[in-house]
Amino acid sequence: MTRVLGLVLATAMLFGVLVLPNHPGTMTWGALNRWPLELPVLVLGMIAIGRLWGVTYGVALLLLAAVVIKLADYAMFSAFNRTFNPILDTFLIGAGLGLLRDSIGGALTVLAVLASFGLLVLMFIALERSLRAWAGLTKAPTARVVAASLALLWAGWAAADIGHHLGYWKFKDSPPGTAWTTRLTLKRGIELQQTATELARFAERAADDPYGDATGLLGALDGRDVIVIWIESYGRASFDNPLYAPTHLTTLRAAEADIARTGMAMRSGWLTSPTAGGQSWLAHGALSSGLWTSDNGRYNAMLASGHKWLFHFAQNAGYHTTAIMPAITVGWPESLAMGFDTVIPAADIPYKGARFRWVTMPDQFTLARYRDLMPKDGRPNFVQIALISSHAPWTPIPDMIPWEDIGDGTEFNEMAQRGPSPKVLWRDRDAVRDAYRRAVDYSLRATLSHVSHLGADAPLVIVAGDHQAASFVAGSENKDVPVHMIGPSDMLERISHWGWTDGLVPDADSPVRRMDSFRNDFLDAFSKTQVVER
């Protein structure tokens, strides 16, 4: 009886690993309805092979690897709406640990990492014991031969299912059952090979830029300052999702009226971001480089290629280029490839107030102080400002205060101590969504209020969302983000052919272009002659 119970538990363990989903949407009890074709292959194969040294350890290791792939996919789907690619995404482990440390503290982060490793070790032991239980079932030669024959039949059935779903062949109907775990693992291997090939091709494309040697660009700006402001996690959900649209549209309409009173014009449109849920630098890279930096591997290939960013062209046109980066708290050597004359990280912004946990300082403080930090060398300025108050985990959220009351930042201290903590907030998804609504609204109000105070000699301002929030917050997997251009009406006439909407609220059916189209479109619009025939 004890042996039968052991075999039942062993089979349940193997079954659980094989049906484990890799996507939040399928992490339901319905996953248990799958019949994994690998299960009889494993059970019968163990009976046939017996306790041959090392076999159970090797198979257990393979099953553990499949579990890790599924869990990594689950985390990536939750945050970025895509699968995990080891070539491109390994660096995110460090970024995730940093965010976890800032949310729950260093000691708890270490304990969480140790606990995770401990659970993996325990799972490996449980899997190996489960396989060993079946491997030791019998030593009878006849039984083992029968088991081997049946295992081969089941393996053929599993192969038929894998080939059918991967498109190697097609049956009228899908074979009963599913070899989903094997299919997923094989698909990841194919994707890794394809990624390596694609990166080589991308590096070649990045080196071939029809604008690279062009001269006389951006002359139509007539030396007017240009400011590119990124609003973190500001996406189409602010317009389409009824949880956010009433708040954000009210803010945009009010700002539209304020800016119109200054005499500046506004036009707005849509761009498709290469990312969602995070990795803002991919969006920054796509917009400014004109290349589709949809993952970190392509981003790194773009940086290594020497491909020119929009800021390189601005340098050539006589601008001083500056990056205001309140989220940068460590070295940023990548900026050397982006065309910035000056980089101002968090440490160089004179904020003396308390941190807002992960967020180093409120957006309003950044916007109030950045002009005092830029070198005064007589050249016009071409500036990128990457705002961060609307970055997850969206707690605490500052309030707007009168601009004249902003001093050294200590006036924000009380706001920085507000709850709830990220750990508490993220237990309630509805509370997370409400916090997101308020955080984006704060960043919009700070940004657009700043623009309305820039004065009669206002620069050309580009305000863009970098990406949508994670799908459970945004409410969809759409990757479109709004982009607004604000400035003198004669300047905005140069983009009239883009099909953007007057004002700060783009029409829902306005043209949508990929974010990597912006660099070339901008160069064409603000150069006195068209650079490249297209």
Query: Do residues 94 and 236 both lie within one domain?
Result: no
- Collect contacts of 101-106 with beta carbons under 8 A, ≥24 apart: 102/357, 102/358, 103/357, 103/358, 103/393, 103/421, 103/422, 103/423, 104/422, 104/423
Query: Do residues 412 and 520 both lie within one domain?
Result: yes
Q: What is the pLDDT of residues 306-352, one digit of tens each?
A: 889 999 999 999 999 999 999 998 778 788 889 999 999 999 999 99
* 202 assigned to some structural domain: no
Task: Tell me what pLDDT residue 138 has.
Answer: 82
Per-residue tokens: 478: 């759409």
Per-residue tokens: 312: 């390189």
* 532 assigned to some structural domain: no
Q: CA nearest 15: which of 42, 43, 36?
A: 36
* 302 assigned to some structural domain: yes
Task: Tell me what pLDDT residue 530 has.
Answer: 59
Query: Do residues 333 and 421 both lie within one domain?
Result: yes
* 317 assigned to some structural domain: yes
Place of tokens 């090392």: 54
Residue 326 near residue 409 (C-beta atoms within 8 A): no
Task: Tell me what pLDDT residue 373 has.
Answer: 94
Total of domains in the chain = 2
Model confidence pTM above 0.75: no
Query: Do residues 29 and 141 both lie within one domain?
Result: yes
3-state secondary structure 121-174: HHHHHHHHHHHHHHHCCCCCHHHHHHHHHHHHHHHHHHHHHHHHHHCCCCCCCC
Per-residue tokens: 325: 């980066």
Query: Do residues 138 and 182 both lie within one domain?
Result: yes
Q: What is the pLDDT of residues 166-205, one digit of tens each?
A: 888 888 777 788 888 999 888 888 888 877 777 787 777 7
Query: Do residues 158 and 229 both lie within one domain?
Result: no
Query: Do residues 185 and 213 both lie within one domain?
Result: no
Q: If DSSP codes are grouped into helix, strand and coil, which group holds residue 484? A: strand
Query: Do residues 369 and 410 both lie within one domain?
Result: yes
Task: Identify the DSSP state of 461.
Answer: E
From 169, 196, 223, the end of a domain falls on 196
Range of the domain at 32: 2-196
Hey, what amino acid is at 531?
A: V
From 149, 174, 196, the end of a domain falls on 196
Query: Do residues 321 and 424 both lie within one domain?
Result: yes
Task: Tell me what pLDDT residue 88 has.
Answer: 67
Query: Do residues 228 and 172 both lie within one domain?
Result: no
Query: Do residues 158 and 277 both lie within one domain?
Result: no
From 147, 171, 196, the end of a domain falls on 196
Task: Tell me what pLDDT residue 63 has.
Answer: 93
* 530 assigned to some structural domain: no
* 201 assigned to some structural domain: no
Strands 265-272 and 480-487: antiparallel
Query: Do residues 361 and 476 both lie within one domain?
Result: yes
Task: Tell me what pLDDT residue 414 has.
Answer: 96
* 106 assigned to some structural domain: yes
Q: What is the pLDDT of residues 79-106, one digit of tens each?
A: 766 788 777 677 677 777 777 787 788 8
Task: Tell me what pLDDT residue 82 has.
Answer: 75
Low-confidence residues of the chain: pLDDT under 70: 80-81, 88, 91, 456-457, 529-534
Q: What contacts 499, CB < 8 A, 6 or more positions away?
A: 269, 510, 511
Task: Tell me what pLDDT residue 233 has.
Answer: 96
Cα–Cα distance for residue pair 331/193, rounded to 1 Å = 32
Task: Tell me what pLDDT residue 534 has.
Answer: 46
Task: Tell me what pLDDT residue 259 has.
Answer: 95
Q: What contacts 358, CB < 8 A, 6 or more positions away?
A: 99, 102, 103, 391, 392, 393
* 173 assigned to some structural domain: yes
Residue 217 near residue 290 (C-beta atoms within 8 A): no
Identify the CATH number of the domain in which residue 494 sits: 3.40.720.10
